[in-house]
Structure 1
């Protein structure tokens, strides 16, 4: 039986990182619980103290097909390279210069939203179509593929 997957990020600023990944993936902030017009209203009603209201956030695929991304505040900073990372499919169906141009455009957009460009890997057929390694605003590596 296949299972749904949620991807969880440990981070310092859940709301900020959720906003970045929503932009990067075309996702949206998860709606507040039924009966509430905003998360602020829901958290107030739940008695969550103001200092704890950025302890978690989540974004979802508006089409409902992609995994939910959950962001939770942790006290320690990121210290080492990720052992698992996301590949953001920014150039599906493209190859060669058209592919790399699409990846460059995606990299430029994400840098404007706080990402850092780390390195570019040129196409090396037949096994590699080329990709760009990036880091999100908290240093988590991902690839534009």
Structure 2
């Protein structure tokens, strides 16, 4: 990827961009699973959105994505990070941007455990698996798959 990639801190007025971005990137998959509900989607984004932890992905000074990396105490006492709100504009997918962002974030987390969830059947799962994430569990409704990347032994 030749373009200039930046992860800028988000501002409170970026929340609407992230809500709309989720719709552009995930609506088709959510419809495929019979789970698209605009209000619920918006509520989930806003519940996870945090100015302190969310960043806007920019290429050549234009927004093309979002990502949030927040501290996670871990239910099993395994402190680490939770990766969420990771969306890349459909027109920018397949150009290595997601990988470049993920490499930067994983460098920031060092040897800590990182968790995320991905929709069943999502192409994004392959990206995560290429970067060391493995299956951890699945929701009872078989919609969300939880992946984890643990420190090397």
TM-score after normalising by structure 2? 0.26
Task: State the structure with more CA Rg.
Answer: 1
Higher relative contact order (CA 8 A, sep 6+): 1
More strand by share: 2
TM-score after normalising by structure 1? 0.27
